[in-house]
Structures are given as C-alpha cells and as structure tokens.
Chains A and B, each alone.
Chain A
Amino acid sequence: DQQVKQNSPSLSVQEGRISILNCDYTNSMFDYFLWYKKYPAEGPTFLISISSIKDKNEDGRFTVFLNKSAKHLSLHIVPSQPGDSAVYFCAASAAGDYKLSFGAGTTVTVRA
C-alpha cells in the first residue's frame, strides 16, 4: 500500500527549533488526515488531524498544513522538546471508508 508516503525516515533537530515532517498521498478520495506519535513498546498516540475542507489546524505546539492540490501535508512542531523524540506516522482515510492508511513513519530525534 503506497497511498501514503513519508519520504524522510529520520529527522534530527535541536531543542527549541522547529521540526517539520512531511507526508504525501496519492488517493484523491482521502478526506481526513491524521498524525500519530509512537514511542517504543507503545501504540500510536493520536496527535492532531485535519479535514480536507481545511488547510490548517493548530493545537498548541503542533500545526498541520494540508495542500490538497499537491496532495501533501506537513506537521510543524514548535518549539521542539526532548520528549518529542519518537516515530511520527501520517495516516489518512476516505469518506465512508473508515480504515486508516499509514505512512512508513519518520523518526524524530530532538538534540539538547
């Protein structure tokens, strides 16, 4: 399933700076997009989502941007903190089709 792609397997960022994670999708029927964070030995934890009728959603330090024409979304984390070090998954679903399609994940390391 290559419908959701995260092309950067890893990202290293200094504490206090911005982390930008990218995700591309191919299925034009996707209308709901989510970001999950995962620590080792734990399940994915929901972070933030966005509906296709919006282009931006913000929740505290996390902002998700959606560019439908480019089939691209991004997650911004500002400022980055050591506790943000984890694997971040992009996921998407289509209307009436509630299963999630996941990207491969990006491992974020926040350096002190």
Chain B
Amino acid sequence: EPEVTQTPSHQVTQMGQEVILRCVPISNHLYFYWYRQILGQKVEFLVSFYNNEISEKSEIFDDQFSVERPDGSNFTLKIRSTKLEDSAMYFCASRGRQGTSNQPQHFGDGTRLSIL
C-alpha cells in the first residue's frame, strides 16, 4: 500500500540553526500538509499546500517556517532559525484528488526534532 515517507526520523539541531524536514507524499496525491505534536500535547496543524502554493497556515507557521515542493515528489518544511520550543514531532500528510474534502489524510511516521 502506498505510504508517506519522512526523513530523517530524528534530527538534533543547535538552537538558531536551520533545519529541513523532508517528506515524500503518496505519488498521486495533490494536497500536502505539515502537522506537529509537542510532547504531551495535541497534534496541531501547521500548513497546507496545493497547486504549488500555501492554501492555509496556522498562527504557529510564522516567518521562520517555509514549505516547498522542489520537484515532483518531495515536500519540505524548513525552519530558518530554530528555537527550543520548536522541539516536537513533525508529521507530513497527503490527501488525494481534487474536489470533495471528504477524503482521509495519510500520515508519515514523523520526524522527531530536538533543539539543543
């Protein structure tokens, strides 16, 4: 069964450094998402991406964050200058075809980001 893959599984970075989290969504999917889960908290939405542009972003997704689909397969999340509070599990998700929103999002296994 097709799946969303994320790399790396664990990223340790010094505060203030840039980090790029990578995702390969399911190949025929059109909608892409990033979520994060801080330890002990809910999974929370960061950003959605469709047709090569951001379709929605949360308050968390400030100027330090950016997303890109550099080629036909990868979808990346960049954090420009990491803070301690960016430490979390980051999940990529994708969803299928155009039209109805009533399709499930499929998630990768996440990248655990640890900021020191």
- Show the binding face of A for B, using Cβ within 8 Å: 1, 31-32, 34, 36, 41-46, 49, 51, 89, 91, 93, 95-105
A98 CA / B94 CA spacing, docked (Å): 11
In the complex, the answer to whether A41 meets B101 with C-beta atoms within 8 Å is no
Q: How would residues 91 to 116 of chain B score, 1 for a CB under 8 Å from any chain A CB and 0 otherwise?
A: 10001000001101111111000000
- Show the binding face of B for A, using Cβ within 8 Å: 4, 6, 31, 33, 35, 41-45, 48, 55-56, 58, 91, 95, 101-102, 104-110
In the complex, the answer to whether B104 meets A1 with C-beta atoms within 8 Å is no
In the complex, the answer to whether A100 meets B42 with C-beta atoms within 8 Å is no
In the complex, the answer to whether B43 meets A49 with C-beta atoms within 8 Å is no
In the complex, the answer to whether A46 meets B109 with C-beta atoms within 8 Å is no
**Ranked 7 nearest A-B pairs via Cβ:** A43-B107, A102-B43, A46-B104, A99-B45, A43-B109, A44-B107, A32-B102
A96 CA / B55 CA spacing, docked (Å): 11
A43 CA / B58 CA spacing, docked (Å): 21
A100 CA / B31 CA spacing, docked (Å): 13
In the complex, the answer to whether A98 meets B31 with C-beta atoms within 8 Å is yes
In the complex, the answer to whether A44 meets B91 with C-beta atoms within 8 Å is yes
A96 CA / B101 CA spacing, docked (Å): 7
A111 CA / B55 CA spacing, docked (Å): 44
A12 CA / B104 CA spacing, docked (Å): 27
In the complex, the answer to whether B102 meets A51 with C-beta atoms within 8 Å is yes
Query: Closest A-chain residue to B33, C-beta based?
Result: A99
In the complex, the answer to whether A43 meets B91 with C-beta atoms within 8 Å is yes
Q: Nearest chain B CB to A27's CB is how many angstroms away? A: 13
In the complex, the answer to whether B101 meets A95 with C-beta atoms within 8 Å is yes
Q: Which residues of B are found within 8 Å of A93, using beta-carbon distances?
A: 101
Query: Closest B-chain residue to A95, C-beta based?
Result: B101
